[in-house]
Chains A and B, each alone.
Chain A
Amino acid sequence: MAAASDASAGTATIHTGPGYTGSYFDPPLGGRTGLWSWLTTTDHKRIGLMYLYAMGTFFLVGVALGIMMRLELLNPGMQYVDHRTYNTFFTLHGVIMIFLFIVPGIPAILGNIILPLQLGAEDVSFPRLNLLSWYVYMAGAFMAVTSLFAGGGTPDTGWTFYAPYSLRTGTNVSLAVMAAFVLGFSSILTGMNFITTIHRLRAKGMGFFRMPLFCWGLYATSWIQVIATPVVGITLVLLFMERTVGIGFFDPARGGDPILYQHLFWIYSHPVVYVMILPAMGIISEILPVFARRTIFGYKAIAMSSMAIAGVGYLVWGHHMFTVGMSDTARWVFSLLTFLVAIPTGIKIFNWVATLYKGSIAAEVPLLYAATFIFLFSIGGLTGLVNGALSTNIHIHDTAFIVGHFHYTMFGGAGIGLFAGLHHWFPKIFGRMFNRKAALAAWGLIFVGFNVLYFPMLVMGIMGMPRRYADYLPEYHLPHMISTFGSWILAAGIVLMVVNLVRSARHGERAPDNPWGGTTLEWQTTSPPPQLNFAKVPENPGDPYDFTRIIAERGQGR
């Protein structure tokens, strides 16, 4: 918020509209200044930043919980906490990371800030609804945090709230469940806002197939948010009613069916992993062409594979339930569909690698993160094949292998994708450059720490180590120990990255409008952009990845 504090000193003139070259950090019209001007803003960029600060905080809390879990698992036996406390750790870690960070993360932060800029729009379609989404998110987050301290104790069910355990535990599950319900509304509202914005507010002359690929990723994501989130909303309400009024939906002791809960939960929660990953894939599709200074390989294939993943992704939820005792026919059908969803993902990865072929590549920090994404996400995707095949799934189901696989896809994918995007658009958002040396060091620590932390989980899972275990048999000691060492390296990298970004937002060198040589519309306005984004409304933007002008202007090799 560096520029914001400059502005609140009262020197900036308040004006807006064509010809205006100030920044969105300046006090807006209406005389509101300081914190109040942020809390009442309808500017998509300011709302995006408010999400960034809130979610960044929750992310760090989630990291701290993860570190504490790994510390307890350093040696067999209970060292620092008891079983119950450990069980609340992984529940909180999951709830915070999934519902407060990784699901809403990229759309709410970078989607909000970048989408209207890339489309050449002044804002999203419904700016006030956008602000409401933020408040709904904060209300849900407040409920989630309250559930930790109030009522019967911190929830200990795991983030999946499986019935009937979640119905019987005396801990404060009801409030946590309602928090997830409220957070779902924030997701739905943001999704609707983005769909309308993409349909209605593209720059004149920008057809769907002239949109940058990040917009395509957000478009596919938004549809999932709007269609799938209500299902989990209903499911959580049913769970809440069973807990409070005792209506028997899921507990067999009351005539309910626990498998029904899992079906309803995963019908949402599987598509939602694509909510986490598709926008990250969009970011990678932006970064690679810019730093290779060449057009993306297979634009339509990448755009359409996003939609294919969003579509087929609805039909594979049963692979979370291969051991619950579903009919054997249902199991092989879900297995087959699961393998089919791997194909569009594979296509994207091949297209990305091909985009680097014969490029003119600058290995800057965003590109390194993008390459890291491809490497880690490939491991995540390929370990998914072991999960998809029935006979091998039975063995690794509910083991540390799943935890490793999930972190390779979600943290290695969505998380690293967010880090890549934050570095890529940092100069645009804050008008300042991050410190390159510190960013490189942080990237190195994160890359090494990540693999040392999560790869041993794959190994111990194959050895038979179940997940959600507060304690373990001595035969699993070595991989657990290595994994814990990795968590320290990764944490050091994350802390360095955060410190560097926070410091640079305030004290970094002033950034030019287009530091990397990007072609999409956000690079054609000032850094940071003015309140209504563009001094001159962009028209006919043409091919989003046409680098001839950039190469002509800057000369080859620079």
Chain B
Amino acid sequence: MSGASSYAAMVDQTFWFILVASVIMLLGVTGAMVWFIVRYRRSRNPAPAQIEGNVTLEAIWTVLPTVLVLVMFYYGWAGFKVMRDTPEGAFPVTVRAQMWSWSFIYPDGRVLPELVVPQGKPVKLNLESADVIHSFFVPAFRLKEDCMPGRRNHAWFQADRTGDYTIFCAEYCGDQHSAMLANVKVIPREEFDEMMGGEWDRPVGRDLLAVKGCVTCHSLDGSKLIGPSFKGIWGHQATVITDGQERQVLVDEEYVRRSIVEPAADLVKGYQNLMPAQGALVDSTDIANIVEFLKELK
């Protein structure tokens, strides 16, 4: 699979160097072994030679591999150093991971469900997690770094070619781990500048719920997923657990706001406490829009 970032070629060169050296060693070892088993089979070689060792040979096969692995170490480190040194003036994006969706927060405050970046310009990623460990992985860029709760990791890349590239979560994070995918969209620089200069079309309705990752766990058609469905809940009573006590609560604006900002406070009966608090991702306008949508979702 061809690389699509500025440092991918360097990673691939190291990989090919190790691969070729490994194949040569594997063929040498296996070839010698099979040849000896055939050549010195008991029927052909009834009198074995008793050879206890050979200092020269043993010195060679200690020193040569040592040199070889040190060269491998060097190339691996040299390529890695490039990956870690973020260039000055890289465009910053905050990547926020949560079970089981990605959000990308831009400097102007807009939050997108896919990572839109300019071609040929370095992008710095601030990696965060709202709940458990996730890992931001774009195979085409040869890029991976964990999103750790409680700390901020960073990474950078510069995409060489326009196009769409898959983002995977590479650290096991529970039920829908393998569905925690997103997209990097690399667009020409002018197009990107235009997008960043222009107004941000705030998503509403279904789009809003998709962008925020709500629909990964909450269905809109009444089916039970990880969390309760949104269908028809507005204005109805919900059975929730508050501080260990079961109680009935009316699904109104205040309840919806609390469920988003403090999901653990009133836990709907029969569901696990898995949802991270969304205060950092969802502002009051979003909450108002979500409420409007829920009113219509009969």
Contact = CB atoms under 8 A, between A and B. Distances in A.
A359 B153 CA distance: 56
B144 A323 contact: yes
B93 interface: no
Contacts of B179: 83, 471
Given A325-B151, A385-B22, A393-B76, A346 B65 contact: yes
A158 interface: yes
Contacts of A398: 135, 137, 144, 170-171
Contact of B178 (A335, A351, A470, A557): A470
Given A168-B131, A325-B153, A551-B48, A557 B42 contact: yes
A399 interface: yes
A344 B11 CA distance: 27
A371 interface: yes
Interface stretch (A197-205, A269-277, A373-381): A373-381
Contacts of B177: 83, 87, 468-470
A363 B181 CA distance: 50
A359 B22 contact: no
B148 to A, nearest CB: 6
Contact of B146 (A323, A342, A389, A558): A323
A357 interface: yes
Contact of A83 (B25, B83, B175): B175
A549 interface: no
Contacts of B176: 83
Contact of B46 (A347, A367, A397, A557): A557
A294 B135 contact: no
B131 A258 contact: no
8 contacts: A165-B174, A361-B37, A386-B19, A389-B76, A464-B137, A466-B168, A466-B170, A551-B48
A205 to B, nearest CB: 20
B30 A547 contact: no
Interface stretch (B67-75, B203-211, B240-248, B254-262): B67-75
B170 A397 contact: yes
A251 B133 CA distance: 10
B169 A466 contact: yes
A392 B11 contact: yes
The majority secondary structure among interface residues of chain A is helix
A353 B36 contact: yes
Interface string B1-41: 10000010011001100110110011001101110110011
B36 A361 contact: yes
A150 interface: no
Contacts of A300: 53
B45 A360 contact: yes
Contacts of A251: 149
- Which 5 pairs, one residue from A and one from B, show the smallest C-beta to C-beta distance? A252-B150, A464-B139, A389-B76, A391-B79, A557-B46
Interface residues of B, number: 88
Nearest to A157: B172
Contacts of B133: 162, 164-165, 258, 324
B249 interface: no
B56 to A, nearest CB: 12
Interface of A: 83-84, 87, 156-158, 162, 164-165, 168-170, 251-253, 257-259, 292-295, 297-301, 323-325, 328, 331-332, 335-336, 339-340, 342-343, 346-347, 349-351, 353-354, 356-363, 367, 371, 374-375, 378-379, 382-383, 385-386, 388-395, 397-399, 462-464, 466-473, 547-548, 551, 556-558
Interface of B: 1, 7, 10-11, 14-15, 18-19, 21-22, 25-26, 29-30, 32-34, 36-37, 40-43, 45-54, 57-58, 61-62, 65-66, 69-70, 72-73, 75-84, 127, 131-133, 135, 137, 139-140, 142-146, 148-151, 153, 166, 168-179, 181, 272-274
A548 B47 CA distance: 11
A343 B37 contact: no
Q: Max chain B CB contacts within 10 Å: which of A323, A335, A557?
A: A323
A17 to B, nearest CB: 37
A343 B47 contact: no
Contacts of B127: 325
Contact of B75 (A169, A350, A351, A389): A389
A357 B36 CA distance: 6
Contacts of B140: 464
Contacts of A360: 40, 42, 45-48
Q: Max chain B CB contacts within 10 Å: which of A351, A353, A547?
A: A353
A265 B10 CA distance: 32
Contacts of A170: 272
Nearest to B79: A391
B147 to A, nearest CB: 9
Contacts of A359: 36, 40, 45, 48-49
A353 B65 contact: no
A335 B76 contact: yes
Given A356-B37, A391-B79, A472 B178 contact: yes
A391 B83 contact: yes
B72 A389 contact: yes
Contacts of B48: 292-294, 358-360, 547, 551
A385 B37 contact: no
A375 B166 CA distance: 35
Contact of A259 (B79, B145, B148, B181): B148
A394 B72 CA distance: 15
A464 B22 contact: no
A335 B74 CA distance: 10
A339 B62 contact: no
A471 B52 CA distance: 53
B51 A358 contact: yes
Contacts of B145: 323, 325, 394
Contacts of A463: 1, 139
Q: Max chain B CB contacts within 10 Å: which of A83, A388, A391, A462?
A: A391
A191 B133 CA distance: 35
A164 B171 CA distance: 12
Nearest to A392: B15
Nearest to A324: B146
Nearest to A254: B150
Contacts of A156: 174-175
Given A158-B172, A374-B29, A466-B169, A363 B37 contact: yes
Nearest to A84: B175
A324 B77 contact: no
Given A83-B176, A394-B80, A464 B168 contact: yes
Q: Max chain B CB contacts within 10 Å: which of A292, A331, A392, A548?
A: A392
B52 A556 contact: no
Contacts of B66: 343
Q: Max chain A CB contacts within 10 Å: which of B7, B81, B137?
A: B137
B51 A357 contact: yes
A156 B177 CA distance: 12
Contact of A339 (B57, B70, B83, B144): B70
A374 B72 CA distance: 23
Given A83-B175, A350-B61, 10 more contacts: A325-B148, A335-B77, A340-B69, A353-B33, A354-B51, A358-B48, A389-B72, A390-B79, A392-B18, A462-B15
